[in-house]
Amino acid sequence: MKLKVCSLYFYLFLTTTSSMIIQNYNQKEETYFNNARLDILPLLPEYSESVLEIGCGNGATLKYLKDRGKCKVTTGIELTEPAASEAKQHIDITLLGDAEKIINTLDSDSYDTVLCLDILEHLVEPWLMVEQISRVLKKDGLAIASIPNLRTFRVISNLAISGKFDYADTGIMDKTHLRFFTRTSALELLKTDALEVDHWIHSPFAAMSKSAIFNTITFGIFRDLLTEQYLIRAVKK
């Protein structure tokens, strides 16, 4: 009897939490879902037969790649219904729902490239997601991830000087983030028995931004503390 009651409470907790997460995403600005991620282009192969994007938004990135002949078949997983509905107009296959559940249903060795852009930090178990990504990748396939960097001047100063760890609607301290990473832990996340990190880059600075200027005059010494996110590529062994 106690076991049944505990199971019921756990089910209600998961149901309520899932509803709250979807509600938080639905409250985000439309631009959150419709940006093509051109910053990943240096990490992409010349051509991929099949590309899966986890958290595809409205499909802008996959559409960009297909329109330019960089892939043949595009598949996207998206949590929110409005973004998924728009994605259906741009990509070949759109799967609506929780990516942590959906990826378990996909066939092994199915994709040449898997994109996971600003997604892993939102997940309950990002390590399990990385394992599933490696499973659905073909041999020599590529996993490309972008992961926010917690170890920035802004976060450190707020915590050390002001004693603040305040969440926000967007950015590194996005209130929908469940996990936080630094460069070291982000790279470790993408290193598994089946995946090997072969390249990573700092996210580019906006031209003539304060961060870009400071990075230049300090000869890149503080680059990690200025970097908002890391772009990481891993290859399936």
- Tens of pLDDT, residue by residue, the chain (237 residues): 544 545 555 445 445 555 555 555 555 455 555 789 999 999 999 999 999 999 999 999 999 999 999 999 999 999 999 999 999 999 999 999 999 999 999 999 999 999 999 999 999 999 999 999 999 999 999 999 999 999 999 999 999 998 999 999 999 999 999 999 999 999 999 999 999 999 999 988 887 888 999 999 999 999 999 999 999 999 999
The whole-model pTM stands at: 0.85
User: Which tokens belong to 5?
Assistant: 């009651």
Give me the domains of the chain, ranges plus CATH numbers: 36-236 (3.40.50.150)
Distant-in-sequence, close-in-space partners of 221: CB < 8 Å, separation ≥ 6: none
Strands (E), the chain: 48-54, 71-78, 93-96, 111-117, 137-148, 195-202, 229-236
Count of residues in the chain: 237
